[in-house]
Amino acid sequence: MTYWQNRSAGWSRLGAALMMVVLGSITGARQSVCADETGDGVEQSVDQMTEQLIAEVRPSLVTIRVEGRDGDLIGMGTGFVIDSDGLIATNMHVIGEGRPFTVETFEGRKLPVVAIEASDATNDLAIVRVAVGDAKLSALTLAEGESAAQGKRVLAFGNPLGLQDSVVEGMISAVREMDGREMIQLAMPVQPGNSGGPVVDQQGEVLGIVNMKSAVDDNLGFAIPIDHLKPLREQANPIAMDRWVRLGGLDENQWEVLFGAAWRQRGGVISASGTGTGFGGRSLCLSKTVVDKPAYDISVMVRLDDESGAAGIAFHSDGNDRHYGFYPSNGKMRLTCFLGASVYSWQVLSDVKTKHYLPGQWNHLRVRIEEGRMKCYVNEHLVVESTDAQLTQGRVGIVKFRDTSPEFRRFNVGPDLAVPPMKPELADWLAGLGNGDSPLSDVDQLQINRLAQAGDVAARELMRRAAELDAEAKRIRNLAGDVLRAPLLAQLSELFASEADTQKSSEADVETGPHDRLVKGALLIAAIENPEVDIAAYEAKLVQMAEEVVARFDAEDDEQSKRRLLDEYLFQENGFHGGRSEYYHPANSMLDRVIDDREGLPITLAILYIDLARRLGLQVEGVGLPGHFVVKQVLKSGDEQLIDVFDRGNELSQEAAGELVQRFAGRPMGDADLQSQSDLDVLTRVLNNLIGIATKDQDIDAMLRRTEMFVALHPAEHRYRLMRAQLRAISGRSARAQEDLDELIRREPAGLEGLPVRELEAALRREN
């Protein structure tokens, strides 16, 4: 049984008896004779010796907590100090790849993580460097030589099942090879949370590091011999924590954070959490964009998690305490002049309540800077105008106060960022929605397209109506989403609209910035799932990545050398890897999140890999093995090499591929399994995966979004069109459900018999 199988089995037994003995409660009436420093015989109980040993080891233990992709706690493990200046040993699987994590001593002291000093995925070991300041840590002694003798009594320390600061007694029952690794077999109960903890002998020397529990017996565990840690420490290759954690960090070339708080960026959305160190919890995130002389605009979309908080635009900043701020606070729009660190130097220039601000929703803030005048807009309505001139120039950015956790998107600076107003007739039509004159069920595709032409203005107005009309709020929000997604669905549909387009190759060079259908389709899927995704930004990122790889090429490099340089760039230097710890997280199927977080499913990593390879002039194609997607490089000679991008680009032999097919499909591999998949095939497989996940979760909204995408790619697939009609009807989109049924009846496709088309049509008529 493999390490991952053992680990999974361990986690599945959370209800097993907790056979842990906590902090010196190891019992027994054993007696022992030992010598004191003078050499006189002193009788001392084994229990007393054990209690003393525990007291000596405890100060060297740390608790490691790991964050998931959404900032939640996904795991807890153990580590121990091996150097008083701040080196912590643990398991690689405890800290995860590219994960944020915290380190805390048994006393509750939080130790800032500075770097990953060294890591070894093969032996599942990691050494972490923490900042200790003047307060040095207590380090444990590592055993020398062949110290892990069979029958030796040992103690293991850790946080089993989240129960912090625990210890269990047992013995070494064997030293054996498992999956090609030497392991210490422990006769003691080991549970998740013990991982990374030390196994010490009666002298307090570390013999091994707890690694896993047995999948077959709760009173059996395994540890990595400490000898494997020593060469890792000697061959350290430190990676700074800000480089290790790839989850949503701000681009330092674009932003500078002042006064603390935690700022992150994911898929074009900047979020902030925690309290800033400035007075009132103030924290600034200043853009490095150089602003022009007046006149110019600053704009951003902002959403507050709590309307009693405050967050918005900062401008004319001196890079410290002095700046203006325009932001919502307690349901009002406020313009403030900040002239120092203290509240006594702040001047509230305006504080107005306006119906144009939408509580709990995305709001568009814009400040117009003119010579001697400032105009402040919310959702394109002028709410504040000021001639205050205490500050006349400086940097621009965004700001938050107190413990507000706001979100920002589409920050921009430019000469004129005003959004054109809606046409009066369209505004009148929107105003009548939900009042009986314009039932939501009658909205057809033509009206959707008209709204889409008005862009975000229409979507925001729909959100305002939703806030006013409680009974129709759900449908209006859905309609706003449909408006935002309609152009994206149209683009997705056009990608494979004709056979001629399908025959276009993805020949490309880096300079021209190609818009390959595969990566374009994957980004459209991500944007349809989350309309806040900035497709152009990710396309530019792919061009940049390809350029960085091309810069490494030498004239004599052949196809295989170039591909290996791509592997080195992606998997070694930038840390792209398979998302094992949260395999079924939706982010693993979204290309924008894969690029941001540097982990994903086999198929989404393959899409990224194929796109970059094509930009480099390499022929790399997708291969849809049952249960596991891989790629293959096709050489000019006609030879082919399978590559497992989920496993850091390792080359895959035909035999290994056959083992995968046997494992997932229960049959031998055939020639068809190794056939290249078209771009359309790959995207279809992505959508089928996503539809399956949504169906399992019974998420109607997600099922509809993904079925919409499937129909956009396969308009002739009548079963999916019928599914879309059913989902549209369930979610209150009656007019568009009828459009699907009319199209099905008009086409009368073969195989329509037995499908409830007429029954659904009759149900819609009864409802209306």
More confident residue, 283 or 97: 283
Tell me the pTM: 0.57
Residue 589 has φ and ψ, to the nearest 5°, of -100, 0
Q: State yes or no: pLDDT of 175 exceeds 60.
A: yes
In 84-229, the DSSP E strands lie at 87-90, 101-105, 110-111, 113-120, 125-130, 141-142, 153-158, 166-178, 181-187, 198-200, 205-213, 221-225
Q: State yes or no: pLDDT of 603 exceeds 80.
A: yes
The CA-based diameter of the chain, rounded to the nearest angstrom, is 102
Q: pLDDT digit string (tens) for 347-360?
A: 999 999 998 898 88
Q: Find tokens 């291969």 and name the residue.
A: 623
Q: According to the 3-state scheme, what is the secondary structure of 324-376?
A: EEEEEECCEEEEEEEECCCHHHEEEEEEECCCCCCCCCCEEEEEEEECCEEEE
Min mean pLDDT across 35-39, 527-531, 655-659 is at 35-39
- pLDDT band at residue 389, thresholds of 50, 70 and 90? very high
The CA distance from 462 to 281, in Å, is 33
Q: CA dihedral defined by 592, 594, 597, 600, rounded to 10 degrees?
A: 150
Min mean pLDDT across 388-402, 464-478, 604-618 is at 464-478
Residues 569-586 as b or e (16 or more Cβ within 10 Å = b): bbbeeebbbbbebbeebb
Over residues 86-93, the mean pLDDT reads 92
In the chain, what percentage of residues exceed pLDDT 90?
A: 45
- pLDDT band at residue 614, thresholds of 50, 70 and 90? very high
Q: pLDDT digit string (tens) for 138-165?
A: 999 999 877 788 888 999 898 755 566 6
Q: Find tokens 């120092």 and name the residue.
A: 340
- pLDDT band at residue 213, thresholds of 50, 70 and 90? low
Is the peptide bond between 295 and the residue preceding it cis, with omega within 30 degrees of 0? yes
Element (H, E) at 562: helix 559-567
CA distances from 179 to 5, 6, 230, 657 (A): 12, 12, 21, 19
Stated length of the chain: 768
Residues in Cβ contact with 726 at an 8 Å cutoff, skipping those fewer than 6 apart: 737, 760
In 474-627, the DSSP E strands lie at 577-578, 599-600, 620-625
Over residues 316-327, the mean pLDDT reads 96
More confident residue, 1 or 567: 567
Q: State yes or no: pLDDT of 446 exceeds 90.
A: no
DSSP 8-state code for residue 503: H
Query: Residue 185 has which token pair?
Result: 């077999």
The CA distance from 34 to 52, in Å, is 14
Q: At what angle do helices 559-567 and 602-615 cross, to 10 degrees?
A: 130
Per-position DSSP letters for 669-706, written without gaps between them? --GGGGPEEPHHHHHHHHHHHHHHHHHHHT-HHHHHHH
Q: Find tokens 């770097």 and name the residue.
A: 115
More confident residue, 48 or 44: 48
Cβ atoms of residues 630 and 644 within 8 Å:
yes
Looking at residue 50, its amino acid is: T
Nearest to 18 by CA among 207, 158, 199, 131: 158
The CA distance from 349 to 326, in Å, is 10
For the chain, report the end-to-end CA distance as a whole number of angstroms.
Answer: 59
Q: pLDDT digit string (tens) for 402-426?
A: 888 899 999 999 999 998 877 787 7
Residues in Cβ contact with 695 at an 8 Å cutoff, skipping those fewer than 6 apart: 703
The CA distance from 717 to 712, in Å, is 10
More confident residue, 38 or 614: 614
Helices (H) and strands (E) in the chain, counts: 21, 38
Q: State yes or no: pLDDT of 126 exceeds 70.
A: yes
Q: Find tokens 């064997």 and name the residue.
A: 174
Q: State yes or no: pLDDT of 219 exceeds 90.
A: no
Q: CA dihedral defined by 746, 749, 751, 754, rounded to 10 degrees?
A: 0
> How high is the pLDDT of residue 513?
38
Query: Residue 236 has which token pair?
Result: 């350290």
> How high is the pLDDT of residue 752?
63
- pLDDT band at residue 467, thresholds of 50, 70 and 90? low
Cβ atoms of residues 79 and 90 within 8 Å:
yes
Sign of the CA dihedral with 591 first, then 596, 601, and 602 last = positive
Mean model confidence pLDDT for the chain: 83
Cβ atoms of residues 586 and 706 within 8 Å:
no
Q: According to the 3-state scheme, what is the secondary structure of 248-296?
A: CCCCCCCEEEECEEEEEEECCEEEEEEEECEHHHEEEEEECCCCCCCCE
CA distances from 405 to 324, 330, 332, 365, 636 (A): 20, 14, 18, 17, 54
Q: State yes or no: pLDDT of 214 exceeds 70.
A: no
In the chain, what percentage of residues exceed pLDDT 70?
A: 85
Residues in Cβ contact with 259 at an 8 Å cutoff, skipping those fewer than 6 apart: 276, 277, 278, 282, 283, 284
> What domains does the chain contain, in order, with CATH numbers?
3-241 (2.40.10.120), 255-414 (2.60.120.560), 424-495 (no CATH), 510-681 (3.10.620), 716-767 (no CATH)
Residue 657 has φ and ψ, to the nearest 5°, of -65, -40
Q: pLDDT digit string (tens) for 738-749?
A: 998 888 888 776
Q: Are strands 269-276 and 283-287 parallel, antiparallel or unpaired?
A: unpaired
Q: pLDDT digit string (tens) for 483-527?
A: 999 999 999 999 988 643 444 444 333 333 344 899 999 999 999
Number of Cβ within 10 Å of residue 31's Cβ equals 10
> How high is the pLDDT of residue 499?
44
Cβ atoms of residues 597 and 69 within 8 Å:
yes
Query: Residue 136 has which token pair?
Result: 């040095």
The CA distance from 35 to 242, in Å, is 51
Residues in Cβ contact with 322 at an 8 Å cutoff, skipping those fewer than 6 apart: 316, 338, 339, 340, 391, 394
Over residues 222-227, the mean pLDDT reads 91
DSSP 8-state code for residue 572: I
Q: State yes or no: pLDDT of 390 exceeds 90.
A: yes
- pLDDT band at residue 437, thresholds of 50, 70 and 90? low
Q: According to the 3-state scheme, what is the secondary structure of 196-223?
A: CCEEECCCCEEEEEEEEECCCCCCCEEE
The CA distance from 111 to 62, in Å, is 9
Per-position DSSP letters for 723-750, written without gaps between them? HHHHHHHHTT-HHHHHHHHHHHHHH--T
Over residues 35-44, the mean pLDDT reads 40
Q: pLDDT digit string (tens) for 720-731?
A: 998 999 899 888
Q: State yes or no: pLDDT of 136 exceeds 60.
A: yes
Q: State yes or no: pLDDT of 304 exceeds 60.
A: yes
